[in-house]
Structure formats: C-alpha cells, structure tokens
Structure 1
C-alpha cells in the first residue's frame, strides 16, 4: 500500500457531500497537499441501470479502481470522494477499489435542511423532487442503522469551508 489516503464523505441525498468534498479539496490545496476530488455520482452516471444494481455500484467500483490508481500513480497523495455506501460489504468493496487507506465520514444534516436544499435544487422537477425527498428519509435511516462510517459530523449552518475543516478534524486529517 502506498502512503496515499482517501476520505469518503457519505450522507443522505442532499446532505452536501459533493460540496463538502470540493471544499476539503480546496483546503488541502491551500495546505499544499496534492489531492483529487471524485464525485462517485459522476462516475456512475449511465443509463440504463441493471435491475440487480439500480445505483450502478459495480460500475462505480470499476471506474473508481481506474481513477484512484491513476491519481495515486500521478502523485496525488490524497483522494477525497463523495458518495454513498449503505452497508459494510459496500464499504469493503469500495476500500478495495480505491486501494489506499480509507476513512469514511458521514455528514448528518437536519432533515429539514435537506428538504429545503432539495426543494431549491428541484424547483421545476416535481417528480424528481418527490423521489429525492422520499429517498432522503429512507437513506438517512439506512445510514443511521448501517454504521459504516468512522466518524460523523453534524452538518448545520456551517459554510462549506467551515464544514470541510470540521470533517478533516473529525477524520484526523488536521
């Protein structure tokens, strides 16, 4: 294993995972730490999904395996990932795919904040909003019960840079 490391930021739909991962990447850049930020949603975006893998987890793993190896080989010592894992098996498979030490941080926002964020995000998409609102509560419960994270950070009124610093501290990265 190399000296590289990875931080996976998980949370329910609308928790701010991607925004926080980007902010962590910015803090690391300011510190002079070579890093790469990977949005797992972006590397699994394809249609149609197989019936037995509705969120394209297998595709995510294949793509992540290639991306992580390429970034580490190119000298990026820190990978910051944003996405969702729902159980210990998925965590183990994702850790194997990333190929470096993995820390998982779960953002735990207030569901009222998630509802507000999703409503703004899907303002002209009633069907999409309905699905995302239902999924946010469902996924929040799944993550509460799964306990796949190493650390939990309550996400409240912080700005993205403030939340990034709190996530890094919780993960032992500062």
Structure 2
C-alpha cells in the first residue's frame, strides 16, 4: 500500500537498497593500538574481495582550531561532516562504512552515527594494547611535541574504554600481531569478508 500511495503521489517507492540500513564497523582503541593501520588494511582486504565500502578516519572530521563556540567538543561538527561525506558515498550505492576513532566504540558516541547515517547497524571493535606496546608505537610515530601528551592520553583512554564500552563490543588484542592478522580478526566479526563470516575474533 505504501508503494501504491507513493506511485499515486508521483513518488518512487524506495528501493530495497535504500530501505536497508547501512552497516558501520567502528574500530576504536587507545592511541598506539593501531586503529588507522588496521582500518586501512581492513579496507584493502575488502577491496581485494570486491566488497563495497567506504573508509573514514574520524580524527579528520573535527581537526579545526579554535573549536566552534557553541560546540566545544566538536561533536556537532563531526556529525555534520560525517553526514556530508556519507551522503556522497550513499549516493554511489555504498552501504558499509569502516570508521576509525579512539572513542567511536563508546555508547555515548552512538548518537553521532544515528544522526549522520539514519539507523545504522553498528559493530564495535576495541583494539587493545599494553602500555609497553602503545609506548613503542607512539614513540616511533610521534616526532614532535605531541609525544608526551599522547602517552598520557593513551594510558587514560585505555582505562576509560575498558570500563565503558557497551556489552557486545568485540575486543581484539594487537600485541605481537601483524597488521594483517589484526585486520583479519576484525573482519571476522563483521561477516563482510567471504569465507570469514561467523568465525569470531581470536
């Protein structure tokens, strides 16, 4: 009946693709856990399998100074920028999003994706790393004045994430593993990669 009413009003019925909610893989974790590297590797493996997707680094959506006076934590800016990007990807038929950001896996961040993407299906993956592993990676990566701040923030966020991620969040350890091994473990929980569905995250 909905399709009939739309036809009578001159509107096209929504396609099945449009009715299907987008799927979002949220990859979070402390600084030094390997989120960006794993995100790119996940995208590379999906591309190799010809699985449609988009990749967004959450950090680039709010990198502006000073923060908007009415949006001090830049969350509204993040939401607007993500909505604009997703509108372009969705127009191309994209229904899967890989999103990397430290706090993206927290339940308090869910409203950003609901507002920007509608009612997406979220899969949360928390990458974990010991203090020693995170410090080694950050020391190799950070060459400027940010290292000390990143080390402090990484340790603090590790504790916060471990305590506050929602039930059902998949934890994937990264210590002593290659980027490829971690990416495959992440993909196993999504069911997006042919042959890896339902295997769980080791």
- Shorter-chain TM band: 0.7 to 0.9
* Contact 2:75–2:112 (Cα < 8 Å) also in 1: no
In structure 2, do the counterparts of structure 1 residues 172 and 160 end up closer, same or farther at CA, with 3 Å as the change threshold?
A: same
TM-score by length of 2: 0.77
* Contact 1:33–1:77 (Cα < 8 Å) also in 2: no
Structure with higher RCO (Cα < 8 A, 6+ apart)? 1
After the TM superposition, which segments of 4 or more aligned residues of structure 1 sit over 4 Å from their partners?
A: 50-55
Equivalent in the alignment of 1:77? 95
Equivalent in the alignment of 1:107? 127
Structure 2: runs of 5 or more not aligned:
1-18, 197-202
In structure 2, do the counterparts of structure 1 residues 88 and 17 end up closer, same or farther at CA, with 3 Å as the change threshold?
A: same
Give the paired residue count: 172
* Contact 1:95–1:101 (Cα < 8 Å) also in 2: no
* RMSD of equivalent CA atoms: 2.1
In structure 2, do the counterparts of structure 1 residues 3 and 51 end up closer, same or farther at CA, with 3 Å as the change threshold?
A: closer
Task: Please state how far the C-alpha of 1:98 moved relative to its aligned partner.
Answer: 3.0
Aligned match of 2:187 in 156, 159, 168? 168
Write out per-residue CA displacement over residues 35-94 of structure 1, whole angstroms, 9 at most, x where no aligned residue.
Answer: 111001112111112578555222111111111222122112321110132742222333
Question: Aligned equivalents of 2:169 and 2:190: distance in 1?
Answer: 8
Greater radius of gyration (CA): 2
Equivalent in the alignment of 2:7? none
